Each structure stands twice: as structure tokens, then as C-alpha cells.
Structure 1
Amino acid sequence: MSGQNDSPYYFVPHPSRHPISASIGILIMLGSLASWINGESWGPIGVAAGLLWMLFTLWHWFGDAIAESEGGMYGKRVDKSYRWSMSWFIFSEVMFFGAFFGALFYARQIALHQLGSLDYKLIWPDFAAVWPNNGPAALVSHFRAMTPWPVPTINTALLLSSGATLTVSHHALRDDHRNKAIAWLAATVLLGLCFLCLQIFEYVHAYNELNLTLASGIYGSTFFLLTGFHGFHVFLGGTMLTVVMVRLIRGHFTAEHHFAFEGAAWYWHFVDVVWLGLYVVVYWL
């Protein structure tokens, strides 16, 4: 928010079409993604259509919120609501990734060792409880595991650098150095874009040269789910920061009131922390 009124009342917006529109876009995108994974030829088209629908919805939803903020409709109570809402949203994302990390932990530390115990030797005498694994029945075609070098390590450096540039941008805005804040925020968005490009390169390499796919047993499924969802969150965070950068260029924020910037920064730092966990657990251990 670039400005805040001191009204004791809480601003209540008019009923909005955006939540149901966003739900439809997500349904199309995820349903098409499931069909794509199962070999349907129209899957990629559906994913693209759902993504475009979501971006169209977010464009208008962000626009309405920005217009309300710039119109002076948000007071301190709304500001507090935004802060609590963003905090709980990030907490829900922590639980989301926690479930996937938990699935990986269960597969590696519990299920794998159970299958390699004496109880199962009569069923799968040649099974070795080592990670990565293609399953006790060896039904999964041979693949090679991902290594931390060079792309994952470079991406780690990119995300850590982006967290630093974002922090510099935030401090510049708080000191009312707008041009400096814009420059460092642009650097943050560029680093995030580089991360996504390298992750696409990594996926192409995994599919074509390592024969590593979603069908490559528990290793392939957990790898692509964890890194894929993280990449999607990097895309969302980059979209947020891009919107904030455009607003910053247009002069929407002041040194005192700029929660849109802070909220996007919280989310980006969360994405950074998740990647550090992925880098250690998925690529090194």
C-alpha cells in the first residue's frame, strides 16, 4: 500500500468473481496435467489453457486490490489482515512441502529398509535396500540419479543471491531510494528467471540422458514432485515480484507503506529456504 487512512472501520470489498474463476483455472490446469502424465495428447494444451486462465484471473484480481489500495480504502486493520493472511498462507505452504518431504523420508528411511529386511528375502532375494532404488520387482527401467553438480549447485547460488538482492532492494525502499530499489528488485527477478531456465534444462537432461522420469519408481516421482512444485512456486514468486516492480516504477509505494513488497519478499525467502532443503535432501543425501 502506498497510503493508509486512519479510519477505525474495516473496508469490506464487493462480492468478487475472482475466487471461483481462479478455482476453475486451477481445476483445468491440474486435471490436464494429470491427463498429460497419463499420455493424453491434449494434456499440454489443457495445462497451457489453465495457466493462461489463472494469469488472466490474477491480472484482474491484483488490479482490483491495487485500485483499492491506491484509492485509500485500506487502513491499519486491513494492513494487519494482509500480514496475518500472508503469514498463514506461507504456513500452509510449509505444510504442503512438509508432506512431500515426509513422503521422501518414509520411502527412504522406513519402507526401503523394511523391503530389504529378512522378512522379504523369500519374496525378493536380490533386492538391495540402497537409494536410489527402482523397486523390489525391478519393473522400472534403469535410470541414473541426479547429482548436485553443476546445475543444482548453480541454481542454489542463484537463489541465495536473489535473496540477497531482494533484501538490498527492500532496505533501499525503506530508505526512500526508489531507483536503487527498482534496480535491485529487477536483479532479483532476473536471477529467478535464470533459475527456471536452468531447471528446464535439468529436466530435459534427466529425461533424455538419464532416463529419469515420473515413472522411475519412488525416486523419480518424489524428485519431480518436490523440484517441480518448487519450480512452480518460484514462478509464482517471480510473478509477484514482477507486479511489485511495476508498481514500484509507477510510484505506488512509500518508505512507510509497502506491504505488497514485504509480502512478496516473505514468499520469496520461503522459496529460498525450501530450495536449500531440497538441495541437501534430494541431491546430496
Structure 2
Amino acid sequence: MATSSYYVPDSSYFPIVASFGLIGMAAGGGGMMNHMSSGGVGYAFPHLVFLVGTLLLAFVLFNWFSKVVVESRAGMYSPQMDKSFRWGMSWFIFSEVMFFAAFFGVLLYVRQWAGPWLDGQGDKGSSHMLWPSFDYAWPMFNNPDPSLPGPKGVIDPWHIPLLNTVLLMSSSVTLTIAHHALRAMHRGRTIFWLGVTVVLGAVFVYYQILEYIEAYTELGLTLESGIYGSTFFMLTGFHGVHVTIGAFILFIMWIRICKGHFTPEQHFGFEAAAWYWHFVDMVWVGLFLFVYIM
């Protein structure tokens, strides 16, 4: 039975360790992306810095969330604490919405305004001041700057992207079935359908890896292939990371359900994971429409 008082956790070193882990991941990742093998502190071994940062963050997440599970199972959380968790998760997802909105905004700005302006179109058109022979046409196969060659082609949306769309949309359905089964206290059905959801997420990541291999080896579509390549990989790459994280979270929920955690009345950990997963699925719909098709 949850206590009636508001639970205030003890002071913890987890936030500061998580900050160092994120800094290491950002510094190491930036070093790897820019092919930096020497230089300032942290960039001499970017792969090692990224690995250490990742391990630090994984350590924090495992121990911090384990503590939350123990406290929840001990009945230390009141209804007010449950409300705080819900507000916290809501604001987190809102921040994620803004994160992806920024990248979708870049894509829209380049395609609808910046590109045509460079071609001399519109009120702010440059009249080809930079490249007299520039002829704007998305996805810019023929970049005017020879140092940034455009891709040879783009991913066919009606093969792997369409398959991945079916996979993610199906995973939302299976996750909803699992949620309803949990609320009806059908634990076996919950375990099955949640497991199916995790598998669908893993298959999505597998096919996205195949898509990236095709883009790099056959289409010349890389982070260095102009603005189309950079926006493509920023949007689909960050989404792939979110799918990977979401599938891992759902797997942890699957383990907890197998252990007998959660009740029809108290299962916000599961609900939070479901909110996150449905959000990731909706982002993919936007990607499929605005990156692959349009």
C-alpha cells in the first residue's frame, strides 16, 4: 500500500555521473564523426571516450532505475508521486517532440526556402551569386560544390522504408494489446504480445542497418553527400537510436512482467514505456512521408 506522504529521495551522485557520461558520448561521438584521431583532451581516442561515456550512462541508468523499482515495489510512492512521474514523462516526451521538430524544421527550411533562394527564386533569391550554373532540385544530386558531391540515388521508399513502417505500426498495435491484457490481469497474454513488440522493434533496427549499408555502398548517400545526406542521416539516425532505446525499455518491462511486477491499477512504468514507443512510431510516420516520399 502506497504511503500517504510525498516521498523525497535521498541525495544521489547519479545525476552528476550521468552528466559526465553524456559529455563523454558527445565528445567521443563528435570526434568519430569528424575523423579526429589526435588533438585536444578527449579527442586523441574518440572511440574510447565514447565507450567510457556510454558505460557511465548505462551504469547510472541501471542503478537509478533499479532503485526506483525497489522503492515502488516497497510501496514508498504515494498518488502524488505517481502524478509527478506522469508529469515528468509528459514533459520529457514534449522535449523529444521539440528535438525532432528542430530537424524537421531544417528539412522544411532547406527544401522550401534556402534551396530556391540559392537558385535565384523568391524575394531573397541570390541570382546565382554563389554558383552561376546552380539549378535547385531536391534531393540535389548535382551539388554545385565539387567538394560535396551529391548522392547517386536515394532510398526507394517502397521497399525497406515501407516494410519498416509496417513493422512499427504493427508494434503499436501489439503493444496496445499487451497494455489491455495487463489491465485485465492476463499476464501470459501480456508477456506474449509485449515480447512480439520487442521483436518487431529489433527487426526494424536490423532493416535500418541494411538500409544504411545500401546507402553507403551503392548510392553514395552519406553524411558528406550534401544537405540531403546530412538531413537524412540526422533524422533517421536519431530516430533509429530512439527505437533502439525504446525496444530496450520495453524489454526491461517484459522482464519485470515475467517477474510478477505491476498490477492492473499500478503499472506506470509500463505506461511510460508505451507512451515513449507510440511517440517514436508517430515520428517514423513523419519521416516516411517527408524524408522518403515527398
For normalisation by structure 1, the TM-score amounts to 0.94
How far apart are 1:6 and its partner, in Å? 4.7
How far apart are 1:142 and its partner, in Å? 3.9
Q: Which one-letter code corresponds to 2:132 in the other structure?
A: P
How far apart are 1:123 and its partner, in Å? 4.0
Q: Which one-letter code corresponds to 2:148 in the other structure?
A: V
How far apart are 1:126 and its partner, in Å? 1.7
1:5 to 2, 15, 19: 2
Q: Which is further off, 130-139 or 105-114?
A: 130-139
Where does 1:197-208 land on structure 2 (aligned, <5 Å)?
A: 197-208=206-217
**Count of equivalent residues:** 281
SS at match of 1:223: helix
Matched, 1:247 2:256: yes
How far apart are 1:47 and its partner, in Å? 2.7
Matched, 1:124 2:134: no
Distance 1:136 1:115 in 2: 11
Distance 2:51 2:199 in 1: 23
TM-superposition CA deviations, 1:189-242 (whole Å, max 9, x none):
111011111111111111111111111111111111001111111111112111
1:282 to 242, 266, 291: 291
Matched, 1:184 2:193: yes
Q: Which is further off, 126-135 or 168-177?
A: 126-135
Distance 2:49 2:203 in 1: 26
Q: Which is further off, 254-263 or 119-128?
A: 119-128
* Residue ranges of structure 1 left out of the alignment (5+ in a row): none
1:100 to 100, 103, 107: 103
User: In structure 2, what is the equivalent of residue 225 of structure 1?
Assistant: 234
Distance 1:123 1:111 in 2: 13
Q: What is the root-mean-square deviation of aligned Cα atoms in Å?
A: 1.4
2:19 to 13, 19, 23: 23
For normalisation by structure 2, the TM-score amounts to 0.92
Where does 1:93-172 land on structure 2 (aligned, <5 Å)?
A: 93-117=96-120, 119-133=126-140, 135-143=143-151, 144-172=153-181
- Once the two structures are aligned, what percentage of the paired residues are identical? 50
Contact conserved, 1:206 with 1:212, CA < 8 A, in 2? yes
Q: Which is further off, 139-148 or 31-40?
A: 139-148
Q: 1:189 to 1:196 in 2, by over 3 A?
A: same
Q: Which runs of 4+ in 1 moved over 6 A?
A: none
Contact conserved, 1:6 with 1:75, CA < 8 A, in 2? yes
SS at match of 2:149: coil
Which is bigger in relative contact order (C-alpha 8 A, separation at least 6)? 1
Q: Which is further off, 80-89 or 44-53?
A: 44-53
